[in-house]
A and B are shown apart, each in its own frame.
Chain A
Amino acid sequence: MAEARPRVDGGTPALSCRDLCVGYGAHVVIKSLSIGFLPGLWTSIVGPNGCGKSTLLRALAGLEPARSGTILLQDRALSSWPRRERARRVAWLAQTSAVTDLTATEVVALGRFAHSGWLAHRQDEDEAAMYRAMMATGSLAWAHRRLSTLSGGERQRVHLARTLAVEASVMLLDEPTTHLDPPHQEDIVRLLREQARGCSVSVVSAIHDLSLALAADRIVVLGYRGLVGHGTIAEALAGNWLSAAFETPVNVVEHGGAHLWRPSLEPPSHSIERSVP
């Protein structure tokens, strides 16, 4: 364990958890985890399948009840926020992008639900937020098409636009780059960084692609036994957290200032025995 207490390098975290435990039935997925997410930083969560990335994001979004421990949103317990107030501050993107017969504009407008409420009377600021979000994700071209007629990648960008349209101070994204082709993955990653740097949003994303994950400002590495480490990319690489989490050597090369994952095609010298729970 690289760290046991919330990492706070100056400033208060927008969202933090302390001794968080989450689980389903008898299976405890997250065990006493303490992390803080600072505004203006993009954090990526990486780890092997089933280590609890999605569960952590869901818990932080208030969708999964905590067994024990606390989650604080702007120094106030997440569960004590009124529903709509909370939804204005924390946006969440699901791993699977739902297929619906609504048009892209209608879906993005739902992102403004916490602001505009039941009557769906859109103010100028709602329209502006929707426009910015759709512009940023490049989904304006399908503004009036139904989601069921779009491709997986196009749909994903509409859902991302909906998440952006909330204009929340914390964005929790579960695999935002799935279904996207490489140029669009690039766009999304650039967008996440812009959101963090330009709009002081705490962006937290689970990303499978290690090269993309390593482009973030901070990284949270989860293994099957819990948190391996939370810190800067340099710290993660120096401490070899990725290899520890995946329980196999993970090669990362540096190229032109970027960190890239290099798949090794040699057969592993050691036997592959992983501690799958």
Chain B
Amino acid sequence: MSATRPLPLDLGAGQRSARARHRMLVWVFCCLAITVLLAFGSLIVGTSSIETSLGWLLKPDAESSVVLWQIRLPRTLGAWLAGALLGLGGGIAQGVFRNPLAEPYLLGTASGAALGVTITLIAADASFEGLAWAARLGVTGAACIGAAAATLLTVSLSRGVLQTRSLLLSGVVVAFLLGSITQLLVLSRPEIWRTMQSFIFGSTGFLSWSSTELLGVAFCVSVVPAVLLARGLDALTLGEDTAQSLGLSLPLLRLTLLGIVSLASATAVGQIGVVGFVGLIAPHIVRETLSVNHRQLLIGAPLCGGALLQAADLLSRWVIRPSELPVGAVTACLGGSYLIFLLWRRSRRG
């Protein structure tokens, strides 16, 4: 105000924002480097009886190259994509609900998608394994409908979108309810019980090239509009009224973004089953390591989510090798502890 005050000027193109951009680049590079390392690990570690090593990876024989190309590579890529979709879904959900605990799993979105998948499979009398491209697309579509319906149910149960605790509570209630319905449906069909059980726990073992392609398409379709709409989420942090006064249409913005959350998490659930907490942790890691606006968050959260799910996948295959754990159990252990830590920290801060 007083013109006499010395002013350190520079907006936009200044040194500090250049430093911020540099930081973001370094962060993205680190994330990608970790991803590549995990990918190598994921290609080497597996349940097959073949002795595997880095040398084997570089010079595979005929049998190994089938394992490598038809099983491990789609699984590695698909796990990254599914994690990226869940991370993106979590990042958007936390912004839309202005609630750091919102994520597809805790909102019931993932359970809705799982119920959609189960109903379709039972109606079509099919098994989750070895679905053809078209069938997989149909199952994913049903997952999307289930996810969107579950999200709407959670939001209407919590009466609005802003009460942190009530949103979390109704999300958990919806997840529990839909999860039980899924279990009941599965129990009525003993022949698919085994497959569906690992689907409900989440497993990367289902991933094939067709599901990986589907994940890739869904990732491109959801990440681009999400990053374009990120500015709306920034505006929303200033309060709903202010966002509206800036010229935003809140209902349209929310609907579009929740549509993207449903699409992203449903596609992930449709390929690997219910894997929770990746969507919760990934945006948090981004925020803890990088001070960000929503555009950077929605770029960072998928990168982080992808690496997280890869790490969890690797862990699930390595801990009790040569057997494997369901990856959803690993993320639930890691994510559940992280959620407890978050709640503890919040209650300490008051």
Contacts and interface: CB of A to CB of B under 8 A. Distances in A.
B247 A86 contact: yes
B1 interface: yes
A184 B234 CA distance: 27
A141 interface: yes
Nearest to A83: B247
Nearest to B241: A63
Given A86-B247, A114-B247, A187-B2, A143 B234 contact: no
B1 A136 contact: yes
B1 A191 contact: yes
A120 B229 CA distance: 10
Contacts of B228: 118-119
B346 to A, nearest CB: 15
A105 B12 contact: yes
A216 to B, nearest CB: 19
Interface size class of B (residues with CB under 8 A): 35 or more
Contacts of A144: 14, 16-17, 20
Contacts of A91: 245
Nearest to A135: B7
7 contacts: A58-B241, A63-B244, A87-B246, A106-B234, A136-B1, A184-B1, A187-B1
Q: Which of A100, A122, A184 has the most CB of B within 10 A?
A: A100
B5 interface: yes
Contacts of A111: 246
A83 B234 contact: no
A94 interface: yes
B195 interface: no
Q: Which of B229, B244, B249, B293 has the most CB of A within 10 A?
A: B293
A127 interface: yes
Nearest to B238: A98
A54 to B, nearest CB: 10
Contacts of A110: 231, 234-235, 238, 246
Interface in A131-168: 131, 134-138, 140-141, 143-144, 146, 159, 166
A101 B283 CA distance: 14
B7 A141 contact: yes
A137 B1 contact: yes
A141 B17 CA distance: 14
User: 10 smallest A-B Cβ distances: which pairs?
Assistant: A87-B247, A114-B247, A187-B1, A92-B245, A138-B1, A100-B237, A84-B247, A144-B16, A98-B238, A113-B246
A140 B14 CA distance: 13
Contacts of B248: 83, 113
Interface of A: 58, 61-63, 83-84, 86-88, 90-92, 94, 96, 98, 100-103, 105-107, 110-111, 113-114, 118-120, 122, 127, 130-131, 134-138, 140-141, 143-144, 146, 159, 166, 184, 187, 190-191
B291 interface: yes
Given A113-B231, A134-B11, A87 B245 contact: yes
A127 B11 CA distance: 7
B247 A98 contact: no
Interface of B: 1-2, 5, 7-12, 14, 16-17, 20, 228-229, 231-232, 234-235, 237-239, 241-242, 244-249, 287, 291-293, 295
Nearest to A146: B291
Contacts of A136: 1
A119 B229 CA distance: 8
A81 to B, nearest CB: 10
Contacts of B244: 62-63
Contact of A105 (B7, B11, B232, B295): B11
A138 B229 CA distance: 30
A87 B235 CA distance: 13
Nearest to A131: B11
Contacts of A102: 234, 237, 293
Nearest to B5: A138
A259 B21 CA distance: 51
Given A87-B247, A106-B293, A110-B231, A101 B237 contact: yes
Q: Which of B234, B246, B295 has the most CB of A within 10 A?
A: B246
A100 B20 CA distance: 18
A167 to B, nearest CB: 13
B179 to A, nearest CB: 34
Contacts of A135: 7
Nearest to B294: A102
Contact of B238 (A84, A107, A143): A107
Given A83-B247, A106-B293, A131-B11, A113 B229 contact: no
A161 to B, nearest CB: 11
Contacts of B2: 138, 187
B201 to A, nearest CB: 35
A182 to B, nearest CB: 13
A127 B12 CA distance: 8
Contact of A140 (B7, B237, B242, B291): B7
B238 A114 contact: no
Nearest to A122: B12
A143 B11 contact: yes
Contacts of B231: 110, 113, 118, 120
